[in-house]
């Protein structure tokens, strides 16, 4: 079942483009074409406007919450080519950092896993991806991958920082040597994987399957299995699930989840990584789950936050 437990009236004056809950699911951040970012306290079914963040000069595309160990930090990106990092101090939200290094609309922001520190990836229509790393003392280190996607990067998503094969992270005594990786999707119809080597970001993989803009990518949370999974969706209506079983991360296999009749805007993995929410044109939201035999099936059509959930049967064909 998908049942509405809270309807937040955002009072945005234009289209909402993103809505994200914080780590605990107690605060909701929204952003809109009205150039504002709003934060609501939604605990216990309430909706208290905590902050109305103004600073962008164009539509705000995405918001992203940092892990709470760094405090209450929110990043937003906008068509105004800016990335703003907001921080709450003593209950009030202020700009913590404003990044203006992109030459076109910044379409996507995503915080890296907390294990990597406070690091933000930003994908822009200028084709570049910026990586902002907090180095302390109000300083942010900026690394930029120019021309990551020739005519624009639409989405970035970090790989989980999990040592392959272990469910539970290594003891905190020694810091595991994580390899920082993320995935991006762009107007060149490509899904690209990036890896940091010796402090430099390098293109690791180039995944080709989409025939139009890749609208969103989502690297699935680790569920303790050595398999890495990425979902990508595209203007061409296709959603692909990419999986990689080899530890080196070199062989990625695409599986077509579904071909929709309209652009697919967004994919989002559940926290446990077993359900994929796909939102597309026609305001359609569908939920997908992998069956025991490894096939993906649509388990729910969500409309206005509501929907039934069907169980997966082997015979079920997913018609859209």
**What are the backbone angles phi and psi of residue 22, rounded to the nearest 5°?**
-75, 180
| Of residues 9 and 248, the one with the C-beta less far from other proteins | 9
In angstroms, give the least distance from the CB of 195 to other proteins. 19
Distance, CA of 181 to CA of 179 (rounded, Å): 6
Tell me which residue has tokens 């289209």: 15
Q: Would you state the structure tokens that stand for residue 302, as one six-digit string?
A: 């969500």
| Of residues 175 and 200, the one with the C-beta less far from other proteins | 175
Which three-class secondary structure state does DSSP give residue 105?
A: coil
Distance, CA of 296 to CA of 89 (rounded, Å): 44
| Of residues 159 and 267, the one with the C-beta less far from other proteins | 267
In angstroms, give the least distance from the CB of 181 to other proteins. 18
Residues present in the chain in total? 320
**What are the backbone angles phi and psi of residue 197, rounded to the nearest 5°?**
-130, 125
| Of residues 66 and 244, the one with the C-beta less far from other proteins | 66
In angstroms, give the least distance from the CB of 250 to other proteins. 19
| Of residues 23 and 195, the one with the C-beta less far from other proteins | 23
In angstroms, give the least distance from the CB of 1 to other proteins. 5
| Of residues 146 and 248, the one with the C-beta less far from other proteins | 146
| Of residues 159 and 273, the one with the C-beta less far from other proteins | 273
Distance, CA of 306 to CA of 123 (rounded, Å): 32
Instruction: Find out whether 214 and 234 touch, Cβ atoms under 8 Å.
Output: yes
In angstroms, give the least distance from the CB of 247 to other proteins. 20
Which three-class secondary structure state does DSSP give residue 44?
A: helix
In angstroms, give the least distance from the CB of 179 to other proteins. 15
- What DSSP string runs through 223-286? -SSS-EEEEEEETTSEEEEEEE-STT----EEEEEEE-SS-EEEEEE-TTSSEEEEEETTTEEE
In angstroms, give the least distance from the CB of 271 to other proteins. 5
């Amino acid at each position: 079942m998908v049942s509405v437990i809270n309807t937040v009236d955002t009072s945005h004056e234009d289209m909402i483009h993103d809505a994200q809950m914080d780590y605990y699911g107690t605060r909701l951040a929204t952003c809109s074409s009205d150039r504002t970012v709003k934060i609501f306290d939604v605990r216990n079914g309430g909706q208290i406007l905590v902050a109305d963040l103004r600073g962008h000069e164009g539509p705000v595309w995405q918001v992203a919450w940092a892990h709470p160990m760094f405090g209450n930090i929110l990043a937003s990106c906008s068509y105004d080519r800016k990335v703003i990092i907001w921080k709450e101090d003593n209950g009030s939200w202020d700009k913590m950092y404003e990044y203006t290094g992109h030459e076109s609309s910044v379409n996507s922001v995503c915080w890296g896993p907390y294990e990597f520190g406070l690091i933000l990836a930003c994908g822009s229509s200028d084709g570049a991806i910026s990586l902002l790393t907090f180095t302390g003392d109000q300083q942010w280190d900026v690394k930029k991958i120019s021309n990551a996607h020739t005519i624009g990067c639409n989405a970035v998503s970090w790989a989980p920082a999990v040592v392959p094969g272990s469910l539970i992270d290594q003891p905190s005594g020694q810091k595991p040597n994580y390899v920082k990786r993320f995935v991006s999707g762009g107007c060149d119809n490509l899904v690209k994987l990036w890896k940091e080597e010796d402090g430099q970001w390098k293109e690791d993989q180039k995944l080709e399957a989409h025939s139009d803009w890749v609208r969103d990518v989502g690297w699935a949370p680790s569920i303790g299995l050595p398999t890495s999974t990425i979902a990508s969706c595209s203007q061409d209506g296709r959603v692909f699930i990419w999986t990689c079983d080899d530890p080196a991360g070199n062989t990625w296999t695409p599986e077509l989840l579904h071909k929709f009749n309209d652009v697919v805007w967004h994919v989002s993995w559940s926290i446990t990584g077993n359900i994929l929410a796909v939102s597309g044109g026609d305001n359609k939201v569908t939920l997908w789950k992998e069956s025991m035999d490894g096939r993906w099936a649509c388990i729910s059509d969500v409309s206005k936050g509501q929907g039934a959930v069907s169980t997966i049967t082997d015979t079920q064909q997913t018609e859209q």
